[in-house]
Structure 1
């Protein structure tokens, strides 16, 4: 059986869900894989609070395991903490480079984050561009905004306004699936 590693933060881990092992988007993707009869196992390597730098620091544990498809979903906490977009992009590139070095046949998918268009300034513009830059430089597919259709919609998010409820994860999984599926066939 092949393995898909979902490497991310609380949005990947399913922070705050009653049953993250069943309700997070990696778990919902596993359900779709099973229904499609594909021979893949989804591994949820999401860690709440992870930044691109802390993700890079914990990557070595996962590099020792089989990775057929690597799905990267980091950067939201970098945005929230106001970290420099250039550092975020560099950290994410290093993650790709290390995975590619250790697993040269692995396929990749990048799940991006976005700042609202009403956020002004150079930093905001750089964050809006960094995921597209990474996808282009690495020639990998990109879902530009992981929370598209969920962010800012109160009934789909927890009271913190940042983390989706189970219903929100259904929407996320539905958006991730068509971008991931071509990598599995």
Structure 2
């Protein structure tokens, strides 16, 4: 059975109303099955509240999982709570991505925050972290999903976020994210032939 490793922060743990769930897992697997790619197993290595520096400390765990694909998601906690600089974040992302075969990696950027619900959030800062992740992905030649862009081109991006905290995806947001991840995996599979 092929494996998809989800390695990162709480975005990949499926947080709903403050509790972890399998909502993102179900959407990724359902989307892949619907596109004709069934039979995947998910290895969940997301940790709530984790920064890219903390992720680096446990990257070996993700490498040892030997995923056919690796989805990496860090940045929101770096943006919201870390004293590390934007440049340090960029270097961390390059080290994280560099631990894997580039053809297997899908890098997620930070997303939009509903600052009405979470007033400590800063979308300009989120966007800077998204840009830094995109730059790292280009340098490392890996696929990137610009979550901030995908959320904000939609006329009502707040619909993608839970009213519980304004940071984690709503049901619609997880469905959207699962579809984006599945689409990138499908493109990689088609490219492989």
The answer to whether the 8 Å contact 2:3/2:42 transfers is yes
Q: 1:138: which partner in 2?
A: 140
TM-score (norm 2): 0.76
TM-score (norm 1): 0.79
The question of 1:34 aligning with 2:39 is answered no
Q: How does 1:1-185 map to 2 (within 5 A)?
A: 1-16=1-16, 20-21=21-22, 23-24=23-24, 26-35=25-34, 36-82=36-82, 83-100=84-101, 107-113=104-110, 126-145=128-147, 148=151, 149=154, 152-153=157-158, 156-185=161-190
Q: What displacement does 1:115 show?
A: 6.4
What is the number of equivalent residue pairs in this alignment?
176
CA RMSD of aligned residues (A): 2.9
Cα distance, 1:154–1:166 mapped onto 2, change above 3 Å: closer
The answer to whether the 8 Å contact 2:5/2:69 transfers is yes
The answer to whether the 8 Å contact 2:13/2:44 transfers is yes
Q: What displacement does 1:74 show?
A: 0.9
Is the partner of 2:168 in helix, strand or coil?
coil
Q: What displacement does 1:89 show?
A: 1.0
Cα distance, 1:47–1:19 mapped onto 2, change above 3 Å: closer
Runs of 5+ unmatched residues, structure 2:
114-121
Runs of 5+ unmatched residues, structure 1:
none
* Greater than 3 Å deviation, 4+ residue runs: 123-126, 149-152
Q: What displacement does 1:77 show?
A: 0.6
